[in-house]
Amino acid sequence: MSDRSAGETHLVQFSERLTGSAAFTGLFREGMDLVEETAAYLDGDGRNEAKMLERSVSLTYATESMRLTTRLMQLASWLLLHRAVKEGEMTLLQANREKTKVKLSAADPGPDDMITKLPQQLQELIARSMNLQARIRRLDTTMHAPSTQRAPIGNPLVPQLNRLKAAFERQIG
């Protein structure tokens, strides 16, 4: 087995270990809790708050609540795929193929001047969902980066040591 193959195998195992980490478990729990909290808000207090809004803001409320729901469903799909990897129900490679159906950039919120007119709780849910989305995007990039984008395996000090060695050799010679 070549060094490159062995390195790629090691990196895949590392990526799969990320799904088994406490950090992933916390992220999963946070994501699912946010989905439930958002659903409860939109079906309860949010519905009542929406009825009291001006007509133009009411349209923004409807648009942003749909964007929020879409964003959270995409994030939940990604989290569920990777939980399946964690539980051994699929490989990271299978999850990578399936995640092409998930849009992690879906449904960004509208302009800030419109968002600020929305009820405070909806604004907070939007902000939290955007934070979660950013963190999942970073994790996704780490886990699914093509092998050509991954950092080379080896001692990162070797290039610096070689430069030092070359500098000393020039002084002596």
Q: What is the 3-state secondary structure (H, E, C) of 92-118?
A: HHHHHHHHHHCCCCCCCCCCHHHHCCC
Angstrom distance (rounded) from CA 70 to CA 107: 6
For the chain of 173 residues, list the mean pLDDT of each consecutive stretch of 10.
Answer: 42 56 88 98 96 94 96 95 90 86 83 94 97 92 65 67 74 63
Looking at residue 47, what is its pLDDT?
95
Region 3-172: CATH code? 1.10.8.930
Looking at residue 152, what is its pLDDT?
53
Looking at residue 159, what is its pLDDT?
76
C-alpha dihedral sign at 157, 160, 163, 168: negative
Predicted TM-score (pTM) of this structure = 0.73
Q: Which H/E stretch holds residue 135?
A: helix 120-144
Looking at residue 154, what is its pLDDT?
64
- The position carrying tokens 């001047």 is 113
The first and second tokens of residue 134, run together, are 């950013």
Looking at residue 109, what is its pLDDT?
86
